[in-house]
Amino acid sequence: MLRGKENNFRTLILALGGLFILIAFVYADTSDTFVNVYDSNIQFIQTPAEFPASVANTPINQSGIISFLATATDDGGYKYYLAVCKTDAIIAGNNAAPTCINGAWCISNETNSGEQASCSYTIQSTDTSTSYSWYAFVCNKSPTAICTSSSQGSGNSGSPFFVNHKPTLLSVNNDGSKNPGESITFSAQGSDPDAGNSLKLLICKTPGISGIDCDGGANDTYCTSLYSGTSPACSYDIPIPTEDKNYSYYAYVFDNFNLVSSNVISGSFVVKNVIPVITNISLNSGYDISLVQRGVTDVVVTGTITDNNSCADITTVRTSFYRSDIGFSGCDDSSKADTNNCYPDVTCELMTYGNKCDGSNDVSANYICHISVQYNADPTDGNSHNIKYYDQNWRAVLKVIDNNGQTSYLEVASGVEIMSLISMNIQSSLDYGAVIRGHSTGGDPVVLDIFNTGNVGIDIEIAGSAMIGEGGSIPVENQEYGISYFTYGLGTDLSENFSEVEINIRKTLLPISPSIGKLYWGIEIPANLKAGSYTGTNRVVAVLGEVDEW
Amino acid sequence: MMAPKKSYIYKFIGVILISLLIYLGPIVARCNAGDSGIGASPAYIRNDNLLPGSSFEEEIILSRSNPDKDAQAVIEIDAKDIASWITLNPGSIVSLPQGEERVSMKVSIKVPSDAKIGSYVGYLRIKLQEVSSGGQIQVIPAVRLDVNLTVVNTEYKVIKVQLAQIYDYIISDPLTLQLKIKNEGNVDAEPSKVKVDVKSLNNTPIATLESTNIPTVKAFAIDEVTVTFTNPGLVLGDYFADVYVYDGTQQLYKDTITFTVLGQSEDVTITTTGAADTTRLLGQILVIVGVILLIVSIIVGLIYFLFLKKNAKKREGSFVSLTGQREENKKN
């Protein structure tokens, strides 16, 4: 019996040994690879494809997404996974997603048999190659999951997919300070890791882009270049008006697949201050000026000031008004004021209608200046026979200062005349007082002051009439006159006809103090004249004096 | 030490006096300058280049610095040989209304077609006729305009451009250049050519416009003429224009003008400034200031005396008592 148990034990050992040897033979044929067990029950019914399809000239941009699509069916009705691996190696997962042995681009969610599966991959910055191969598998989700053999798709949507990498902006320069109306050019230097790419330069006013444009749109954009190698450039026409100051800019480059550089370079450029321009100067609207006797005449000067930095840049506008021989240099300062020939540094004002200054977006404005011209301002009409400065005229200069202290001047294109004004003021009555008949005023003549209230030298004419009263009349020739003190009998007899008197009242030089001429009067009363009041009329006429005696 | 009451009184009187000085000062000065006066501008009528049959007109501005009442200017023609050549407008009597410092009159000269070559003289006497202020002798002020005319048989052309303007215009309209031209010659005349160089505001040349179609200005006259450029081809915006006016090869005038080409919906604003025709009298301003100060001084003074009098009386009472005490002390 013991021998029977020993035989059974030997038989068992032999059987196990043989089984062991059998197993050894089996595994002795394998190497380091795993055995892929294919289940012929899952299969592609739609070839895997990239979406979007990428080829060399339509790559996927860095940070972009590439998707993979495929459709499969499983005879057992199991759900499946689409796995896109980096190599042709995968392990099915029992009731789980498969595993790409050397890494996956992506693996889809479980998908019903017969429905399309998809998965996506975001291109990373570490994906520095130009193209990457992919191997697509479908694996069912079963307790004993199996995968198909790989497929690399076909055509443009097949493996590999192509990657476009971001360019780098190395530097940006501009060609210096500009005036409004000029063009500033921005030049960039960039680099691109993808051979053959061209770069486009975008210059924004504020940081930030939206797509391939500045995020503020056209109003936020200085300029955009064409695609041009690695040295793109673009120009910006500085509009008029543009304020003089520093302007910031933000530069980006895009490659020809509209992939923006990873960096932005900021800088600034200067719009320079320009000198204001004076135009449309009008002096008294081009008309000659007639003054008012012993008064002030308002003479108006207008002009247009254009500043390409904007009319708001203008701080001061003044005018000087002068006789032409004096010139602006002789009338450019208030210390040179002379009512005869120079009205300097009169402040002008912005006009409140018409071409006003509407702020920093407006380029020009009209100004108006009021000059109070005195009655004694030198006349410039006439000729050498009658007017001293007949060969001159009156001119005006507009002077403009902007907020940078830049100054410009312009004289009116055509001067105007100040017309001669002949005028006098005189007391309206002459009283001899009480004179005894048969007597005269003797050595006590009555004085009549004659004030020259024009702008020329004057002489006078005199004529008179008999004095009439209740007792008769006093003949006109009983009155005598003279331009200096006289005793009656030594003066000039008054006449009913005009007689010119060379009193030579000079041209007034100070308006508050008119030149004065004195006319002395005396009278003799006829001895037989009845006592009473007697009245008459004497005429004193101002006449233009000789030029040499002004 | 001055008693407080008296110091206030002296101060009040001082303010009144100052006010009176300001108020009356110009009046006194005016009195010193004479009670009446009249001026005429220009001071002559002269033309050295009249052709037989020609005519011209001279505007005379009559002025009074103190037009405080109505008056008249009476014009007398004293010109034996040429009195018939002279016409006065509005006539030999010109109203000088109260408040009007300047009144215009016109003297027209028409030379007969058979007038002989030579010089002619005469006078216009313009006397001021006001209501007599009384007195033994009424003194009538007047001015005399010397009339000197020369009839020649030579044509004489002299034109001057006083002003050029281009008004803003709507883009569909023509560009209009307005010239103010003074013809100092004795024949009707006009410039031969105008040229307008249009530039952008940064002085980039845009277009050059030329015209020889310029209206004529009559002899001895000043007139505004218009030169029109149709279809100048300018887009909307602001421009500079260098305007040149020629007489033959001689450049008469050059100026730079700014103008704007407007869109259809924009208003065209034409800004013109008239010739100076207003006057100011510093004296009138001083008068107003003086009156105001005078009134204020009177009111302040009244307030002082009415409302502060009580306090003054109290202080006076003490003075009286002090004075009385002193008086009593003296008696004692």
Tens of pLDDT, residues B24-76? 444 444 434 446 899 999 999 999 999 999 999 999 999 998 898 999 999 99
Cα separation of A465 and B278, whole Å?
38
Q: Do A420 and B46 touch (CB under 8 A)?
A: no
DSSP state of B330: H
Task: Verify that A301 and A402 share a domain, yes or no.
Answer: yes
8 A C-beta contact, residue A271 and residue A256: no
User: Which residue among A164, A198, A228 closes a domain?
Assistant: A164
Can you give the pLDDT at residue B299?
A: 83
Among B139, B182, B196, B267, pick the best mutation site for testing chain A contact (most A Cβ within 10 A). Answer: B139
Chain A neighbours among B 70-89 (CB < 8 Å)? none
Shortest CA gap A69–chain B (Å): 58
User: Distance between CA atoms of B164 and B153, rounded to whole angstroms?
Assistant: 33
Measured CA to CA in angstroms, residue A255 lies from A99, A209, B61 at distances of: 37, 15, 80
Residue A89 maps to a domain: yes
User: Among B66, B276, B280, whose Cβ lies nearest the Cβ of A289?
Assistant: B276
Low-confidence winner among A207-216, A294-303, A377-386, B282-291 (lowest mean pLDDT): B282-291
| Residue A435 and residue A309 share a domain | no
In a domain? residue A219: yes
CB contact B180 to A (< 8 Å)? yes
Task: Determine whether the interchain pair B275/A287 forms a contact, defined as Cβ–Cβ distance below 8 Å.
Answer: yes
My answer on whether A308 and A351 are in the same domain is yes
Instruction: Assess if residue A419 is contained within a domain.
Output: no
Is the domain of A244 the same as that of A326? no
Distance CA B51, CA B198 (A): 41
* Neighboring chain B residues of A431 at a CB cutoff of 8 Å: 135-137
* CA triple A352-A356-A360, angle to 5 deg: 135
**Smallest Cβ distance to A426: which of B36, B238, B258?**
B36
Express each pLDDT in B242-292 by its tens digit. Answer: 999 999 999 999 999 999 999 987 655 444 443 433 444 455 565 566 677
Backbone Cα Rg of chain B: 34
* Chain B contact for A275 (CB, 8 A cutoff): no
End-to-end Cα spacing for chain A: 176
Q: Does A388 touch chain B (CB under 8 A)?
A: no
| pLDDT tens-digit series, residues A247-262 | 999 999 999 999 999 8
Helix, strand and coil percent figures for chain B, each rounded to 5: 25, 45, 35
Least confident among A54-63, A514-523, B123-132:
B123-132
B272 touches chain A (CB under 8 A): yes
The alpha-carbon gap from B278 to the nearest alpha carbon of chain A, in Å, equals 6
> Given this model, what pLDDT does residue B302 score?
82
Residues A50 and A152 in one domain: yes
Q: Do B37 and A451 touch (CB under 8 A)?
A: yes
> For residue B242, which phi and psi values (nearest 5 degrees)?
-90, 115
pLDDT of residue A105: 97
Query: Are A293 and B64 in contact (CB < 8 Å)?
Result: yes
pLDDT exceeds cutoff 70 at A412: yes
Tokens of B62: 């009559």
Q: Is the pLDDT of residue A179 over 50?
A: yes
Q: Is the pLDDT of residue A6 over 60?
A: no
CATH number for the domain that contains residue A357: 2.60.40
For B285, the 3-state DSSP assignment is helix
Identify whether A25 is part of a domain: no
Cβ of A308 within 8 Å of Cβ of B238? The answer is no
Residue A57 has pLDDT above 50, yes or no: yes
Rounded to whole angstroms, how far apart are CA atoms A132 and A121? Answer: 12
> Does residue A281 sit in the same domain as residue A407?
yes
For residues B87 and B45, what is the distance between their CA atoms, to the nearest angstrom?
Answer: 13
Inside any domain, residue A22: no
DSSP line for B193-237: EEEEEEE-TT--EEEEEEE-----B-TT-EEEEEEEES-----SE
Q: Which of B35, B101, B138 sits opposite A292 (nearest CB)?
A: B101
pLDDT in tens, A461-491: 999 999 999 889 999 999 999 999 999 999 9
Which sign, positive or negative, has the C-alpha torsion B7, B13, B16, B20? Answer: negative
**% residues pLDDT > 70 (chain A):** 93
What does the alpha-carbon distance between residue A253 and residue A259 come to, in Å, rounded to a whole number? 8
- Asked if ipTM goes beyond 0.90, one says no
Does the residue A23 lie in any domain? Answer: no
What residues make up the domain containing A102? 42-164
Calculate the average pLDDT of chain A: 92
Q: Does the residue A445 lie in any domain?
A: yes
pLDDT at residue A60 greater than cutoff 50: yes
Question: Crossing angle, helix B309-331 and helix B4-32, to 10 degrees?
Answer: 120
CATH code for the domain in which residue A235 is found:
2.60.40.10
Residue B45 CB coordination number (10 Å): 19
Dist CA B56 CA A395 (whole Å)? 27
Tell me whether B46 touches chain A (CB under 8 Å): yes
Residue B93 has pLDDT above 80, yes or no: yes
Phi, psi of B104 (to 5 degrees): -100, 140
Q: Which residues contact B209 (CB under 8 A, 6 or more apart)?
A: B175, B195, B196, B198, B229, B232
Q: Which amino acid is at A516?
A: I
Nearest to B128 by CA among A424, A495, A465: A424
- Which residues of B are less than 8 Å from A423 in CB distance? 37-40, 63, 143
Of the partner residues A292, A363, A419, the one whose CB lies closest to the CB of residue B238: A363
Lowest-confidence segment of A135-144, A306-315, A527-536 by average pLDDT: A527-536
Given this model, what pLDDT does residue B18 score? 55
Residues A301 and A260 in one domain: no
**A453 vs B: CB within 8 A:** yes
pLDDT given at position B1: 47
Q: Which residue has the higher pLDDT, A38 or A518?
A: A518
User: What phi and psi values does residue A132 have, to the nearest 5 degrees?
Assistant: -140, 130
Q: Are residues A76 and A188 in the same domain?
A: no
Q: Which of A252, A152, A271, A270 is nearest to A212 (CA)?
A: A252
Closest C-alpha to A52, from A123, A154, A156, A131: A156
Q: Are residues A446 and A527 in the same domain?
A: yes
Rounded mean pLDDT of B199-226? 96
- Nearest CA to A322 out of A345, A304, A303, A302 is that of A345
**Between A156 and B274, the higher pLDDT residue:** A156
> Confidence class of residue A335 from pLDDT cuts 50, 70 and 90?
very high
Q: Which residues of B, range 192-211, sit inside 8 Å of A by Cβ?
A: 200-202, 204
Q: With bands split at pLDDT 50, 70 and 90, how would you rate the model's confidence at A326?
A: very high
Within this chain, do residues A266 and A283 fall inside the same structural domain, yes or no? no
Residue where one domain finishes, among candidates A388, A411, A434:
A411
DSSP A174: E
What one-character DSSP code corresponds to residue B296? Answer: H
Residue B162 touches partner A, C-beta closer than 8 Å: yes
Q: Which of A143, A164, A185 is the last residue of a domain?
A: A164
Which residue from A minimizes the CA distance to B165?
Answer: A280
Average pLDDT over residues A417-441: 92
Flag whether pLDDT at B130 surpasses 70. yes
User: pLDDT class for B309, splitting at 50, 70, 90?
Assistant: low
Nearest to A285 among B29, B200, B274 (CB): B274
Residue A388 DSSP SS3: coil
Q: Is A399 helix (H, G, I), strand (E, B) or coil?
A: strand
pLDDT of residue A14 exceeding 70: no
pLDDT (tens digit per residue) in B149-179: 999 999 999 999 999 999 999 999 999 999 9
Assess whether A76 and A131 both reside in one domain: yes
Q: Would you say how long chain B is, in residues?
A: 332
Is the per-residue pLDDT at A524 higher than 80? yes
Q: How far is CA A372 from CA A284, A291, A346, B277, in A?
A: 12, 11, 9, 12
pLDDT of B317 over the 80 cut: no
Q: Which contiguous run of DSSP H or E holds residue B284?
A: helix B282-307
Residues A75-95 have pLDDT tens digits of 999 999 999 999 999 999 999
Query: Looking at the structure, do residues A129 and A115 belong to the same domain, yes or no?
Result: yes
CB pairs under 8 A between A and B: 278
Under DSSP, the state recorded for A524 is B
Contact A429/B133, CB-based, under 8 Å? yes
Pairing of strands A394-402, A446-452: unpaired
Q: Is the residue at A26 inside a domain? A: no
Structural domain total, chain A: 4
Output the pLDDT for position A116.
Answer: 97
To the nearest whole number, what is the mean pLDDT of chain B? 81
Q: What was the pLDDT predicted at B296?
A: 81
